[in-house]
Structure 1
Amino acid sequence: MGSQQQTNTTELTSNREKFMGWMVIGWVMAGAIGIVLSWAFGDSLIGDAMGWVIGGAIGGLMTGYALTLLKTPIQSKQVTVLALGWAINLAFFEAIVGAIGETLNIALSWTLGWAIAGTIGGWVTGYALTLKQPQLQKKQLALMTLGIAMGWAIGGTIAGTMGDALSWTIGWAIVGATHGSMLLWCFNQPKFNFRA
């Protein structure tokens, strides 16, 4: 009995490590591709949106793939919602950061702009997970969205303040790590069970 439980724990830990690795790699790739393509399509609102649509879709697809590593019952419909939701969200990403930057100081615009994108994307992630069956309670969805938004705000602050390739990589890695951590937290139902 003890060895069976130890085997299951080892497999779950291994899957969690793979999940977190793919979340970080996936969002670093999404950020890098979004940046490069937004520059390649031209420094304009449309060019930026086109680049970030592709980056957002990659981030959503990688999140869907990573969730399969946890043996969660995720369907292709949910992965499609993740990809489309994040693509649409990040299409407006540059415009949101730019609009806030024109109104406020530039350092604060990165933090707020990324926090807004993280909030919307966190909700999209939670919504996608509730399509098959309501796996998340309202409080879990709210806390997951808040956690993802905070990760995006921290990542955006680092990326925007320093502005070099390393800081952008660190910023996007923080995005992937917090996103993955919040999803792991939500799927650990017995430990974190809220009463409505």
Structure 2
Amino acid sequence: MPICGSVGCSNRKGVKKKKKKKKLSFFKVPKIFTGQGEETLKLSEERRHLWKAAINRKDIDTEERWERTFVCAKHFVGGVTAYLHDRTSPSWLPTLNLGYTEITSSVIGAVHERFNRASQRKHKRKISDAVSSLLTLKKRCIDFGDNNASGISEYVENTEIQNDSTCNVRIHVEQVIGLVLRKFRIFEGTIGHPH
């Protein structure tokens, strides 16, 4: 039965937690992926190196011992590890309850801030794609001779998109969906019927 490799942690695989009666998950130190492209190789090497640095065990001195090293869910944000290509996730490597003070809260805070910035960029891209789709729909309606397509541009122009430091983006999703559906029905009706 493996024991958590983090300094000062005595969690063992297969032992249920007393309070919740739920088994604790364990994760092996990530392997280096070869044969899946240069980017995956570099990313997996970097991740393995950072895991070793985070675990910070001087007594584990061979690759064979690292292959048998596990870390429990207690050391990851959210209790699970992130996927290899989700580099900005705070659970890409163990950061919690590591048993030593060499990693400061500022380093952990930087990881969380980077993850939040990436999430905000993803959210802004979704908003931008939605507005772009509405404008494309308007153009298609105009191309097919729909004189009522101006409602889309009026809505897009009147929609308040405010990108400040807290990423306050206000769009009324129900209104956008309703408008798109109404315009799509008009668009469908004009395809086979000349006016």
TM-score of Structure 1 vs Structure 2, range by shorter chain = under 0.3
TM-score when normalising by structure 2: 0.27
TM-score when normalising by structure 1: 0.27
Greater gyration radius: 2
The structure carrying a bigger helix percent of its residues is 1
- RCO (CA 8 Å, sep 6+): is it higher in 1 or 2? 1
